[in-house]
Amino acid sequence: THFGYKTVEADKKASLVADVFHSVAAKYDVMNDLMSMGIHRLWKRQTIASSGVRKGHKILDLAGGTGDLTAKFSQITGETGQVVLGDINDSMLKVGREKLRNLGLVGNIEYVQMNAEALPFPDNTFDIITIAFGLRNVTDKDKALASMYRVLKPGGRLLVLEFSKPSSEALAKVYDFYSFNILPTMGKVIANDSESYQYLAESIRMHPDQDTLKGMMENVGFEQTSYQNLTGGIVALHRGFKF
Ligand code: SAM
């Protein structure tokens, strides 16, 4: 049946994503710095700046991987707050926990394995949810967004940092060449894993563009949605509120 077919496809995607992140976990941070030429740090800084984080906030860093955002949040939210680093992949969680412990960040961080499509929290739990370079890996994005909406507190906000659509043709061409030629080659040479980086390029091309994602957020209930293009739209930071 059509339904059966879809389920098989979805399972395939989920296990492909799992394989990719098990195999890149150990080298994830180094590759991130190399492939983005360090620019991912600026994108993440912008995410923190737009988050409205304050002391005492309860935050979910979803698909948090090796915990770059969690680290920054945990320093701001302090002892009275809490950051949950949630990820579906235990290899990524392990690398993240190790890294943050080595940075001396303990006490207000929890590491929880979870699927973004079915968040294991009661309604109205978090002040802020971030998902950085994670949504494009999720099989059912609408379901995941609805789940995020549910666990946000009224007044809370969601930030989605994700690859998006470059705003000029010229930039799109350069970027396409970079992601389909240079990136898999770097993946092969540095991490001996061109397939994972090929997947990465494909998942970026498939991801909904700025206005589509904004509409998807609105469809599950988010209000005052907006986005900010970063690096010419290669990346976009979407924001939405639950009231
Ligand atoms: N947020 C981190 C960052 O910006 O560096 C990590 C991003 S990494 C590219 C994507 C992460 O999404 C991986 O750690 C992967 O395991 C996680 N992921 C993929 N599918 C997921 C899902 N359905 N639920 C939760 N996490 C997921």
Tell me which CATH code domain 2-241 carries: 3.40.50.150
In contact, 157 and 239? CB cutoff 8 Å = yes
List residues bridging with 158 in a β-sheet.
129, 240
The Cα 239–Cα 71 span in angstroms is: 20
Looking at 61-70, 134-143, 197-206, 222-231, which range is the least confident one? Answer: 197-206
Evaluate: CB of 67 within 6 angstroms of ligand 1.
Answer: no
pLDDT in tens, 59-88: 999 999 999 999 999 999 999 999 999 999
pLDDT at site 1: 38
User: How many angstroms does the Cα of residue 65 sit away from the middle of ligand 1?
Assistant: 5
Evaluate: CB of 162 within 6 angstroms of ligand 1.
Answer: no
**Which of 19, 99, 133, 237 to mutate for ligand 1's pocket (most ligand atoms within 8 Å of CB)?**
133
Model confidence at 8, in pLDDT bands (50, 70, 90)? low
pLDDT in tens, 111-126: 999 999 999 999 999 9
